[in-house]
């Protein structure tokens, strides 16, 4: 065991207990009644950073939840790493489907995590992963081995699209100035095959409302003679894809970055088994855009999905009603080349254009963000590659992700630095779902790998200079 492994070994229990204390606080950003818990979590994160040996710890107010800042500046001539993470979590519902309560962290073994995994909302996304960084810094400071400067930005609104962060980072651009941004809020292929996330998709999220008659009607008196907004909305939604599962919105694909044959061949090298994928989801067959593989469809191709649809009577029994309104929430995942505002406008124009005169349609934009790609020739990517190579038996492979962290593309605009996505979660960790969990192996391996990033980044930075 080297010094780092020994430090982790000795402090294993304490690290886990400290994480559990954070996981016990329901910091659900989507629900405003949890505001006190968000403030409490920010306070606990600030305390943890203080305890790790960081300086200038602050809970900086924003238009929404506070952003936790901390730093350890050892020498201004050395590079600065900015660690980003989020302390807010997704709502826990449906609560009934959790085997143990979402805010009572419990360690259990699973087939994929034979050493145990911690079950709780936020265990993987993102408290568990964010906390690895605090512990890695604790080690580096305690043993006097921090090779460069570090700053932390831990926010509390990621799960609602970071609505306050865009103006916040512009306002505090000087404070958060950095040479590279490091984030653990994504995943890797498996515990034996690490990967570095090289891309995130962008997002355009809208809510649509279709209104028919001015009130709910008796479906016997009026049904068949007046437009039923649920029938109409369903039909409009089916018109958004063609038979090849391509999105029909005019202009939608106009600036989409198409992978070269070489890039596609590279991507296809990642280990992937369609049959296992289908089996894990209990589906007989996959479905997606014609001409692309499952890995491509779920990472480098744009998509459109209905996230929720409602209207009319959904209570017990039957009620004969022709509803006045129908609603849907629709998300579009975007790839490089697509601008979220433009896409939202194209969607709106098209959606309104396909509505019959018998209904009125409104489209309300929610959050959005551009896609992001990490350049593989950057010193940040190279440092991450070296870091994984030190702590895993297999070298990491690059893999674009289908998920989104909307603020990341703005980071590169404001700070002119690259973001390195060192995620240690697994797809099977059920983030956003009931029984979210995070492997203990992943938690400790993350703490072990992160210090090597600092070391290699600093070395490469000096060589570059
Ligand atoms: N950490 C996730 C994003 C993620 C997870 C990216 C795994 C890649 C792999 C983040 O917290 C998240 O949930 N993002 C949302 C968007 C946000 C605006 C709610 C998403 O991707 O749906
Ligand atoms: Mn996250
Ligand atoms: Mn999330």
**How far is residue 388's CA from residue 422's CA, in Å, rounded to a whole number?**
9
Q: Is 321 helix (H, G, I), strand (E, B) or coil?
A: strand
User: Mean pLDDT, consecutive 10-residue segments, the chain of 465 residues?
Assistant: 98 98 98 98 98 98 98 98 98 97 98 97 98 99 98 98 96 98 98 97 98 98 98 98 98 97 92 95 97 98 97 97 98 98 98 98 95 97 98 96 96 97 97 98 98 98 93
Sheet containing 117-119: order of strands:
106-108, 117-119, 437-439
**Co-location of 161 and 50 in the same domain:** yes
**Co-location of 189 and 310 in the same domain:** no
**How far is residue 354's CA from residue 239's CA, in Å, rounded to a whole number?**
8
> How far is C-alpha 458 from the geometric centre of its chain's CA atoms?
27
Which of 368, 402, 425 is a domain's end point?
Answer: 368
Q: Is residue 245 part of a domain?
A: yes
Q: Is residue 442 part of a domain?
A: yes
The pLDDT assigned to 367 comes to 87
- Regarding beta strands 149-155 and 67-72, do their DSSP bridges make them parallel or antiparallel, or are they unpaired? antiparallel
Q: Is residue 50 part of a domain?
A: yes
**Co-location of 230 and 171 in the same domain:** no
Name all residues whose Cβ lies below 6 A of ligand 1.
125-126, 158-159, 161, 185-187, 203, 367, 401, 403-406
Write the burial class of residue 292 (CB in 10 Å: 0-12 exposed, 13-18 middle, 19+ buried).
middle
Q: Is residue 267 part of a domain?
A: no
**Total count of domains within the chain:** 2
Q: What CATH number did the domain enclosing 225 receive?
A: 3.30.70.360
Which among 334, 337, 343 has a CA at the least distance from the CA of 203?
Answer: 334
**Co-location of 344 and 453 in the same domain:** no
Contacts 24+ apart (CB under 8 A), 37-40: 38/65, 38/87, 38/88, 38/156, 39/65, 39/66
**Co-location of 191 and 249 in the same domain:** no
**Co-location of 376 and 430 in the same domain:** yes
**Co-location of 22 and 62 in the same domain:** yes
Cα of 193 from ligand 2 centre, angstroms:
21
Question: Which atom of ligand 1 has the smallest separation from the CA of 404?
Answer: 21
**Co-location of 318 and 245 in the same domain:** yes
- Write the DSSP symbol of residue 233: H
Question: Which atom of ligand 1 has the smallest separation from the CA of 331?
Answer: 22
Q: Is 46 helix (H, G, I), strand (E, B) or coil?
A: helix
Q: Is residue 212 part of a domain?
A: yes
Q: Is 169 helix (H, G, I), strand (E, B) or coil?
A: helix
Residue closest via CA to ligand 1's atom 18 equals 161
Which among 333, 20, 37 has a CA at the least distance from the CA of 156?
Answer: 37
Q: Is residue 250 part of a domain?
A: yes
**Co-location of 90 and 117 in the same domain:** yes
H or E element in which residue 18 lies: helix 3-23
Q: Is residue 284 part of a domain?
A: no
Q: What CATH number did the domain enclosing 83 receive?
A: 3.40.630.10
Q: Kindly identify the ligand whose nearest atom is closest to the C-alpha of 429.
A: 1
Which of 333, 368, 403 is a domain's end point?
Answer: 368
Tokens of 290: 């014609």
Which among 186, 181, 179, 154 has a CA at the least distance from the CA of 422?
Answer: 186
Cα of 16 from ligand 1 centre, angstroms:
24
Backbone angles phi, psi at 159, to 5 degrees: -70, -5
**Co-location of 249 and 359 in the same domain:** yes
H or E element in which residue 295 lies: helix 294-297
Which of 344, 368, 392 is a domain's end point?
Answer: 368
Cα→Cα distances 355→141, 189, 249, Å: 61, 43, 14
H or E element in which residue 290 lies: none
Q: Is residue 280 part of a domain?
A: no
Cα→Cα distances 91→10, 165, 201, 247, 387, Å: 34, 20, 22, 30, 34
**Co-location of 246 and 158 in the same domain:** no
Residue 103, sorted as left (phi over 0), alpha (psi -120 to 50) or beta, turns out to be: alpha
**Co-location of 17 and 111 in the same domain:** yes
Contact between 146 and 133 (Cβ < 8 Å) = no
Q: Domain range for residue 218?
A: 202-256+302-368
Model-level pTM?
Answer: 0.95
Among 185, 299, 372, 409, name the best residue to mutate to test ligand 1's pocket (greatest count of ligand atoms within 8 A of Cβ): 185
């Amino acid at each position: 065991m080297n010094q780092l492994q020994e430090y982790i070994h000795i402090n294993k229990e304490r690290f886990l207990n400290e994480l559990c204390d954070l996981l016990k606080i329901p910091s659900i950003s989507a629900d405003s009644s949890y505001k006190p818990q968000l403030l409490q979590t920010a306070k606990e994160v600030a305390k943890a950073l203080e305890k790790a040996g960081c300086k200038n710890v602050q809970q900086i107010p924003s238009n929404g939840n506070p952003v936790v800042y901390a730093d350890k500046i050892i020498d201004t001539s050395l590079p600065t790493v900015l660690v980003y993470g989020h302390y807010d979590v997704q709502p826990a519902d449906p609560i009934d489907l959790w085997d143990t309560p979402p805010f009572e962290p419990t360690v259990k073994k699973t087939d994929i995590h034979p050493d145990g995994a911690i079950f709780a909302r936020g265990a993987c996304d993102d408290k568990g992963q964010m906390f690895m960084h605090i512990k890695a810094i604790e080690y580096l400071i305690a043993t006097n081995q921090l090779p460069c400067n570090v700053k932390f930005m831990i926010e509390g609104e990621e799960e609602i699209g970071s609505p306050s962060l865009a103006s916040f980072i512009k306002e505090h651009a000087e404070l958060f100035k950095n040479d590279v941004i490091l984030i653990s809020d994504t995943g890797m292929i498996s515990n034996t095959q690490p990967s570095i996330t090289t891309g995130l998709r962008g997002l355009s999220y809208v809510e649509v409302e279709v209104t028919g008659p001015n009130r709910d009607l008796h479906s016997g008196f009026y049904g068949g003679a007046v437009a039923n907004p649920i029938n109409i909305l369903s039909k409009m939604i089916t018109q958004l894809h063609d038979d090849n599962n391509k999105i029909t919105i005019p202009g939608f694909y106009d600036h989409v970055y198409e992978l070269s044959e070489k890039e596609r061949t590279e991507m296809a090298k990642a280990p992937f088994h369609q049959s296992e994928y289908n089996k894990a989801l209990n589906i007989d067959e996959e479905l997606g855009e014609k001409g692309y593989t499952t890995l491509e469809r779920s990472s480098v191709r744009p998509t459109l999905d209905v996230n929720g649809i409602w209207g009319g009577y959904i209570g017990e029994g039957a009620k004969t009603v022709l509803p006045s309104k129908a609603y849907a929430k629709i998300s579009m995942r975007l790839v490089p080349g697509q601008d979220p505002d433009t896409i939202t406008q194209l969607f709106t124009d098209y959606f309104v254009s396909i509505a019959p005169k018998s209904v009125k349609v409104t489209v309300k934009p929610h959050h959005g963000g551009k896609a992001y790609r990490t350049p593989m020739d950057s010193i940040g990517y190279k440092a991450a590659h070296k870091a994984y190579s030190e702590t895993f038996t297999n070298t990491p492979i690059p893999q674009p992700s289908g998920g989104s962290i909307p603020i990341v593309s703005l980071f590169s605009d404001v700070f002119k630095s690259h973001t390195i996505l060192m995620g240690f979660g697994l797809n099977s960790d059920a983030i956003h779902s009931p029984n979210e969990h995070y492997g203990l192996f992943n938690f400790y391996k993350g703490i072990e790998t992160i210090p090597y990033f600092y070391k290699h980044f600093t070395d490469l930075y000096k060589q570059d200079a």
